[in-house]
Structure 1
Amino acid sequence: MTTVPFLDVAATARWVARRGPQAVIARLIDALAADFARWPELDKRARIASHSRDGVIELMPTSDDTTYGFKFVNGHPRNPARGYQTVTAFGVLADVRNGYPTFLAEMTLLTALRTAATSGLAARLLARPDSRTLALLGTGSQSEFQALGMRAALGITRLRAWDTDPGALAKLARNARALGFEVHEASSAADAVTGADVITTCTADKTNATVLTQEMVQALAHPGVHVNAIGGDCPGKTELDPRILAGADVFVEYEPQTRVEGELQQMPEAFGVTELWEVVTGRRPGRRGVGRTPAGAGAPFERGVGERAALDATGVTVFDSVGFAVEDWATLRFVHDDVPADLLRHLDLVAEPDDPKDLFSLVRAADEAGAPDPDAAPGDAAPGDAAPGDAAPAGRADDASARRALDRLMGLAGRDGRDTLLAGTAARRG
């Protein structure tokens, strides 16, 4: 019987806590760099999105010649006001040879980790290496992960944060100080940006907004600032003054998707950008004077590797990030290989009759075993069942044996033990 390893939310949190969130993000940066380095080999397409007045639900697939993967994810900005998460997700890996699923995982936490790692990868290539101050415009669910990603990538030690929600800002400040950051709780976006080496914009409202202006970047931020724009991730949602893009070197994940969903919505079709994988492989320059990864799949990422040139300390770089399926696929593969077995459950998701062409045999076997009707009312007696206290009818032991055999066939071995446990619990409660 084929079972599929499953990593749930609680187990994901335990895995991250064991490894350390910054260490996980740092390793994910390397994993992403290795997969970006073989970008031309991968099957890529823009995500499949279903938009509604409340938000969006998306499917994000990609694969190589061995492993297929996808992420199911939503984005509903009004959810927190209703007691729900803005973003939830799960992901699946499958074997390309037979199509069987090989791994299933929650991806709400994993999406936060991979987004931080992608931001970190871009910052290593595009930000000044001496960057130490990060401005966070938006302090929701992503903010702590973004701070850790920038510390892993650049050694960021100071945060200047601002949010329209005072509670979210206080939450970030509390968590970030516990993580060892120096935190300035800014009174405005302009206050947060003042003196920043890196600016991350991460707001939730799905509107065309100007969270960051050209004047803030030119007059308040540190010269040579890197802008990490991760909030614009669907049609009709932007965060940057388009003049920032016009005066900067702009980098994206997958241009066809970013043209529709990212800050590029504001720019003419002829506006030139560079895909990040091209910088990873050295085909195109990033910030002049910042090292690149060695070319080739699987090569470890090291900042500073590659040809040296005089550092461009004044040019503005922008990473217009909307999130791309390759990042989720790389993360799922990394987690699958790294998570310890004691944190995994196994699910019976693959129907495997003895004869691959006789799927109905599973139904027939269940019928022959006398599987109970799940719609029967509690307490209803099946034909031939004895009343409580009566002796077991003839053949009942055979029925139980058949049920156990069916349980083994269907991957439900051990159900009797669970029934006994539940019965014991009910007795204690009674």
Structure 2
Amino acid sequence: MSIAPSELAYVPFVSVENMMRLVHHIGVEEMMAGICTNLEEDFRRWQAFDKTPRVASHSQEGVIELMPTSDGETYGFKYVNGHPKNTREGLQTVTAFGLLADVYTGYPVLLSEMTVLTALRTAAMSAFATKVLAPKAAKTMAMIGNGAQSEFQALALKAICGIETVRMYDIDPSATARAAGNLEGRMNVVSCGSPEEAIEGAQVITTCTADKQYATILTDNMVGAGVHINAIGGDCPGKTELHKDILYRSDVFVEYTPQTRVEGEIQQVGEDFEVTELWQVLSGARQGRRDRRQITLFDGVGFAIEDFSALRYVRDQLEGTGIYQKLDMLADPDDPRDLFGMVERAGEAVR
């Protein structure tokens, strides 16, 4: 979103309310498809970005993280927390906000909520990986873990990959009932009583559970040949969802290896365990799906470039909509060297 010189002192801010207005203005499936397009563009120019594992502050209750990156022209970061215990207290597990800034001036050009946007981005990323790696004729997915992300995941795979049926399971039947109700009329939904039932006939399996522990949501004998797995719930140290034997039977694809080795499913295996970064498949340097019996596994933990892709999508959609507020974030003295004078004149105006 370009900013007129007269408005340089203001930063567009997208609140939660305005993010929801923007989603309805564009359409939830259309918005995730648009973010997916940006993800593909940015993964194809992966080498242009600064890359660093997220800066994490862990506590017994959860984690608070900063996720920065830059492509040399635009800088972006996201602040995000992950507190699984929050659900029991009536709070969101994840909250987030993000910022884009112009590298040339250092001025921020967008501030946005990213609780809703992260849900859209995460689902778009799973769909992007599925599009690249899954069997081409896939029509059915299993969604194990029916929390706040589940509906987004199902609709993203519908919009981007052509998934028609989602088979849902959660240890809490009320979560499945809620998600199934939200998806009613949008796609075929089958509510299941066990993980084994959920994966029957599914070509794509997505796991997205919240507990911060080493868990075994999928055992080795549950995973047959030819499927694609999106393992997106294991996203911090000490939190996994798959039995490690599944990893040895799969070709594993990741976003950024140094981060995933600490946070992803592959934290269960040695540093010499071979993985492929997704951008390598897009560049042709490495192969994705080779044959119909191959198990492909996207070990997704979320990476800063994905948030950058989502934020620039929002920035580009705002122009002409008015679906944002102007924040007075930047000091704008008449003389850039006279910040004190600006403060003094403000005092005179008050008096």
TM-score using structure 2 length: 0.95
In structure 2, stretches of 5+ residues that fail to align are 1-7
Structure-2 residue corresponding to 1:338: 317
- Contact kept, 8 Å, 1:287 with 1:317, in 2: the verdict is yes
Does residue 216 in structure 1 map to residue 216 in structure 2? no
Deviation at 1:362, TM superposition (A): 2.6
Match for residue 247 of structure 1 among 241, 246, 249:
249
Deviation at 1:17, TM superposition (A): 1.3
Does residue 279 in structure 1 map to residue 281 in structure 2? yes
Superposed CA RMSD in Å reads: 1.1
Consecutive aligned runs of 4 or more in structure 1 exceeding 6 Å deviation: none
Structure-2 residue corresponding to 1:172: 179
Structure-1 residue corresponding to 2:5: none
Does residue 95 in structure 1 map to residue 108 in structure 2? no
Does residue 359 in structure 1 map to residue 334 in structure 2? no
- Contact kept, 8 Å, 1:60 with 1:70, in 2: the verdict is yes
Deviation at 1:87, TM superposition (A): 0.5
Deviation at 1:368, TM superposition (A): 2.3
Does residue 71 in structure 1 map to residue 78 in structure 2? yes
1:4-403 matches, cutoff 5 A: 4-179=11-186, 181-218=187-224, 223-288=225-290, 312-339=291-318, 340-369=320-349, 371=350
Structure-2 residue corresponding to 1:426: none
- Contact kept, 8 Å, 2:334 with 2:342, in 1: the verdict is no
State the AA in 1 paired with 2:343.
V
Aligned residue-pair number: 343
- Contact kept, 8 Å, 2:140 with 2:165, in 1: the verdict is yes
- Could you say what secondary structure the match of 2:105 adopts? coil
Which of structures 1 and 2 has the bigger CA Rg? Answer: 1
In 2, Cα distance between equivalents of 1:341 and 1:356: 31
Deviations for 1:269-289, whole angstroms, at most 9, x for unmatched residues? 10000000111121111002x
In 2, Cα distance between equivalents of 1:105 and 1:95: 15
- Could you say what secondary structure the match of 1:235 adopts? coil
Deviations for 1:6-47, whole angstroms, at most 9, x for unmatched residues? 111111111111211111111211111011000011111100
- Contact kept, 8 Å, 1:249 with 1:317, in 2: the verdict is yes
**Percentage of matched positions with identical amino acids:** 55
Deviation at 1:151, TM superposition (A): 1.0
- Could you say what secondary structure the match of 1:78 adopts? helix
In 2, Cα distance between equivalents of 1:53 and 1:193: 33
In 2, Cα distance between equivalents of 1:215 and 1:368: 75
In 1, Cα distance between equivalents of 2:33 and 2:109: 25
Structure-2 residue corresponding to 1:402: none
- Could you say what secondary structure the match of 2:41 adopts? helix
- Could you say what secondary structure the match of 1:53 adopts? coil
- Contact kept, 8 Å, 1:73 with 1:89, in 2: the verdict is yes
Deviation at 1:245, TM superposition (A): 0.6
In 2, Cα distance between equivalents of 1:174 and 1:57: 32
Deviations for 1:41-63, whole angstroms, at most 9, x for unmatched residues? 11111000111111111000000
In 2, Cα distance between equivalents of 1:169 and 1:248: 28
- Contact kept, 8 Å, 1:130 with 1:154, in 2: the verdict is no
More relative contact order in 1 or in 2 (CA 8 Å, sep 6+)?
Answer: 2
Deviations for 1:80-123, whole angstroms, at most 9, x for unmatched residues? 11111010111100010111100011111110111111111111
Deviations for 1:371-430, whole angstroms, at most 9, x for unmatched residues? 3xxxxxxxxxxxxxxxxxxxxxxxxxxx5xxxxxxxxxxxxxxxxxxxxxxxxxxxxxxx
Deviation at 1:178, TM superposition (A): 3.0
TM-score using structure 1 length: 0.78
In 2, Cα distance between equivalents of 1:159 and 1:83: 27
Deviation at 1:358, TM superposition (A): 2.3
Deviation at 1:194, TM superposition (A): 1.5
Deviations for 1:69-89, whole angstroms, at most 9, x for unmatched residues? 000101010111111101011
In 2, Cα distance between equivalents of 1:104 and 1:46: 22
In 2, Cα distance between equivalents of 1:147 and 1:57: 27
